[in-house]
Chains A and B, each alone.
Chain A
């Protein structure tokens, strides 16, 4: 992936890349970084802030952009210059290189603990998109207004501190995703994950077969949250009726203005959140899965310096490895609870 243009740009989407690495069980996830960041605003802090934010979202190898062999200004066609020839960075690079190498080493491979799976709403995005649309400026922001997968992912990472993995709806249908013990298991050799909650993100369109498998999970005692808009159209031809039947069965009685939870005797639960802000998401997740892997009480919740405070938990070589990254320009004092003793 590419962390480009400025610190914070595209941050909400970084986990799409690391989620793909999870499903394919790949140990290394690389990011090109710092390309076309504004030279005049680039500082030593920027080096660390951008790096921490990709690391904590599952990337573990950095490829700095802008390491020009010829450092004459006319040759550095896309600043900033990230090298020992940069007067403002040169004295900091040795320590930064140590930091980047150590962090890469610690985060490479292993198994990530993420207990929420978010169904990537690709069918809704594709169903809406067309190149000639009047409002399509070509920068990837032409999406239906109910699209919320990036903002909710961001809330989970930065505010609620509940880690998650995006799930591609087609891959979800494969035998790699098994429903067992009221969980969806991503059955990988190394990076296996177990999702206690599946989130269907806002969107009009979903694959009928994907929704059917989500319903199987719900019927088997699984917890499902739908946000912003329930689907009404199938990604496949002629299966809209099936979509509407399943939605009715799972979210029956849910007026599109309510947040009623439909419970099954075996523990299965389905809830539709029309306005999934932080407060309602916290309340819902605490109700559905109160025993989070990591609980962080951070009363500050700072975003100073356009930074964020987030964590990542991996298990490797029998060790529990937690990475806590504070890219804000504030001090963080948090109470942290780790499941287990």
Chain B
């Protein structure tokens, strides 16, 4: 999955570079670290 983070406040778009796939209880997951500033929100869009 290609993941992009989009900040609706600033319009900034960045690609999530550091992630890994994890097999957990019969399912694949995409794992990554999310840092959010105080009083802030982001969209994560997966293709």
Q: Do A and B bind each other?
A: yes
Q: Which A residues lie at the B interface, using CB under 8 A?
A: 45, 48-49, 52, 55-56, 95, 98-99, 102-103, 106, 290-291, 295, 304-305, 307, 309, 319-341
Which residues does chain B contribute within 8 Å of A335, judged by CB atoms?
31-34
Query: Is chain B's interface secondary structure helix, strand, loop, or mixed overall?
Result: strand
Which residues does chain B contribute within 8 Å of A307, judged by CB atoms?
39
Excluding A320-B1, A337-B31, 13 further A-B contacts by CB distance (< 8 Å) are A48-B40, A102-B8, A103-B41, A304-B38, A320-B46, A320-B47, A321-B45, A323-B44, A324-B41, A326-B41, A336-B32, A339-B28, A340-B1
Contact assessment for B41 and A325 in the assembled complex, using a CB-CB cutoff below 8 Å: yes
For the complex, give the distance between the alpha carbons of A339 and B24 in Å.
10
Which residues does chain A contribute within 8 Å of B31, judged by CB atoms?
335-338
For the complex, give the distance between the alpha carbons of A84 and B43 in Å.
27
Q: Would you call B25 an interface residue if the criterion is a C-beta within 8 Å of the partner chain's C-beta atoms?
A: yes
B41–chain A nearest beta-carbon distance, Å: 4
Which residues does chain B contribute within 8 Å of A326, judged by CB atoms?
36-41
Total contacting residues, chain B, CB less than 8 A: 32
For the complex, give the distance between the alpha carbons of A65 and B41 in Å.
22
Q: Mark B15-31, 1 if CB is under 8 A from A, else 0.
A: 00000011011111111
B31's nearest neighbour on chain A, judged by CB, is A337
Which residues does chain A contribute within 8 Å of B33, judged by CB atoms?
333-336
Per a CB cutoff under 8 Å, which of A102, A309, A327 touches B11? A102
For the complex, give the distance between the alpha carbons of A321 and B9 in Å.
16
